[in-house]
Amino acid sequence: MNPFKPFAIWIRPHRRHIAIGLFLLVCAQAVGATIPMLLKWAIDAGREGMAAAGSSPAGVDPGVQRELGRYALIIAGLAFLQWVTNFGMRWYLNSMSRRVERDLRSAYVEHLVKLPLAFFHERRVGDLIARATNDVEAIQRFMNHAFRMAFTAVLNFVISLTLMCTIDWKLALFSLIPVPITVVLAGLVAGSIRDGYREVQEQFGAMVARIQENLSGIRVVKSYARSPYEIERFVDLNDRYVARNRYLINIRSIFYPLMFLFNGASMIIILWLGGLRVIEGAITLGAFVAFNVYLTRMGRPMMMLGRIVDEYNRAIASLNRITSILNEKPQARGAAEGEGIRGEIEFRNVSVSYDGRPALQNVSLKIQAGSTLAVVGRVGSGKTTLARLIPRLMPPDSGEILIDGVPLEDLPLSALRQAVGYVPQDTFLFSATIRENVALGIDQKTRSNGAEEGTVDNDIDNAVSVSQLEPDLQSLPMGLETIVGERGVTLSGGQKQRTALSRAVIRHPHILILDDAMASVDTGTENEILKRLRKFMESRTTILIAHRISTVMGADRIVVMEDGRVAEEGSHEELVQRDGIYAGMFRRQHLKEELEEL
């Protein structure tokens, strides 16, 4: 079984890097393995020189000293060679892991943005981000270590063992007795460390949950003077956390010294058996030294093997989490070619429900191209659902929606959304300049579409003027270039809504939907915006969802929603005369205005 198989598609583009890296790794190992042999020859030469000199007063032949010097130079030269090859090896293999990291992350995000909205409603943001960060990093760490360390450990072991066997195979085998034990032990303990770690994480999760709960309920905690009890419970959780850690610490505290113990055992075997062999005259002192150095070189890579197994398991789990997202089906983009959209909208027996609760029930409605339809109704009456169906932010459960007589699903999604300007009640602004937020999605493509340089600027000016954002821009430090959002200036609710409005206006949509989009804008400004919009909306189909009667009065037609059904329909005058729901709303609105003036 090939452990790298699951990662194959990610590794393949970098196989050249890997090949070069592994080649250099073999070179470096080969070079490194000869060094102890050189030490052996040098020491043996020295010993022979001394033995030859015996107890003669002339001392050792100076040629022996020069020979030692030559060996030392060769060793230093090989060390330099090892440095260079190791540098290349690390660079090729480690940078490969970073590139795989980049590829994974961008493939993930490129796929993510294409997924249907429903997908995002079901997932937690933090979890989706964790996949692009923690999970990708876990894979990177494994890629980084796996090639370098696993290959180093195995190669080092094979070459060293071979060379040691050429010197004295019995001694070589004896001294390596503790090695397999170490590897197996490392694997076993890595497993129980992982289990212990998981338990610690669980307890940690409980602790985090408790803090979160406490902070969310801080008012209750304070008003019922509950904090001593809360602290007591938290201390208790902490103690349990420490207790679970104690188990983990115990294992780890035994594990690492135990590794040293086994490593030391090898050294003892060499010292003892090897020493005896030297005394017997079976091997030279140089060979004894070479054995020592080989064993020292073997220690670290062997200990890393256990860790790599652990990292492999984590990387596989992380890869699965990423692949599961990559396997999600992207949003269907629609079939037919896009043509100019006039903007006639028709709902045919449309029903929608959320978790079994009906939001729209058998709604049928036709909106003429270029006309303005206003929708009013209580919170939860289905107004927003109605609006969200048009740009396909959600699918209907049953029924059909047609634009210019064509079913929505048959329109190319991007053409549909290009044609629809939807302004929701909750405005989402990106941490970017106001200009970027307004010109959202107006990219090079659109610009090159026959438009001249500077047209976009004109469009922006026009858009902020229609939405009455212009006066506010003057009071902002950098005008259009002011950065807003989490890392910038905080805009008021009204300013945000007007930015969102500009965003829709700049696209010159054929269908404009304002979903309670001016709730945070004061009445005076709203009237001004409506006045300016009127000209803009002349040739466009407009759907206006609002609570204020003053907003909807001027619409061609008004629809009153109740419990997911169209309850009343007609012009302002007709509906007031009818003395139904709309008329009641109108009266209350009147009262409210009076109240404001008191």
Residues 515-544 that bind another protein (CB under 8 A): none
Interface residue with another protein among 20, 26, 30, 271 (CB under 8 A) is: 271
The DSSP secondary structure of 342-375, one letter per residue, reads ---EEEEEEEEEETTEEEEEEEEEEE-TT-EEEE
Task: Report the distance separating Cα 475 and Cα 484, nearest Å.
Answer: 14
Confirm or reject binding of residue 204 to another protein (CB under 8 A).
yes
Confirm or reject binding of residue 212 to another protein (CB under 8 A).
yes
Task: State the binding string over 137-176 for another protein (x if CB under 8 A, else -).
Answer: x---------------------------------------
Task: Report the distance separating Cα 7 and Cα 583, nearest Å.
Answer: 66
* Residue keyed to tokens 């005076």: 524
Residues 224-263 that bind another protein (CB under 8 A): 224-227, 229-235, 238-239, 241-242, 245-246, 249-250, 252-254, 256-258, 260-261
- Determine contact, residues 85/24, Cβ cutoff 8 Å: yes
Interface residue with another protein among 328, 443, 461, 481 (CB under 8 A) is: 443
Task: Report the distance separating Cα 446 and Cα 329, nearest Å.
Answer: 28
Binding region for another protein (CB under 8 A) out of 11-19, 411-419, 462-470, 534-542: 411-419
Environment class of 233 (CB within 10 Å of its CB; exposed 0-12, middle 13-18, buried 19+): middle
Binding region for another protein (CB under 8 A) out of 1-9, 153-161, 276-284, 551-559: 276-284
Confirm or reject binding of residue 20 to another protein (CB under 8 A).
no
Interface residue with another protein among 184, 220, 282, 478 (CB under 8 A) is: 220
Compute the least distance from the CB of residue 574 to another protein, in Å: 22
Neighbours of 139 (CB within 10 A): 25
Residues recorded for the chain: 598
Neighbours of 590 (CB within 10 A): 11
Neighbours of 572 (CB within 10 A): 17
Residues 22-41 that bind another protein (CB under 8 A): 35, 39
Interface residue with another protein among 11, 18, 112, 376 (CB under 8 A) is: 112
The DSSP secondary structure of 120-159, one letter per residue, reads HHHS-HHHHHHIIIIIHHHHHHHHHHIIIIIHHHHHHHHH
Confirm or reject binding of residue 324 to another protein (CB under 8 A).
no
Nearest CA to 458 out of 505, 419, 509, 495 is that of 505
Task: State the binding string over 40-59 for another protein (x if CB under 8 A, else -).
Answer: --xx--xx-xx--------x
Compute the least distance from the CB of residue 240 to another protein, in Å: 10
**Residue with smaller CB distance to another protein, 452 or 594:** 594
Phi, psi at 118, each rounded to 5°: -55, -35
Confirm or reject binding of residue 289 to another protein (CB under 8 A).
yes
**Residue with smaller CB distance to another protein, 332 or 538:** 332
- Dihedral angle, C-alpha 467, 421, 476, 462, nearest 10 °: -50
Pairing of strands 406-407, 565-570: unpaired
Task: State the binding string over 548-567 for another protein (x if CB under 8 A, else -).
Answer: --------------------
- Determine contact, residues 239/149, Cβ cutoff 8 Å: no
Confirm or reject binding of residue 326 to another protein (CB under 8 A).
no
Compute the least distance from the CB of residue 325 to another protein, in Å: 12
Binding region for another protein (CB under 8 A) out of 108-116, 152-160, 165-173, 560-568: 108-116
Compute the least distance from the CB of residue 320 to another protein, in Å: 17
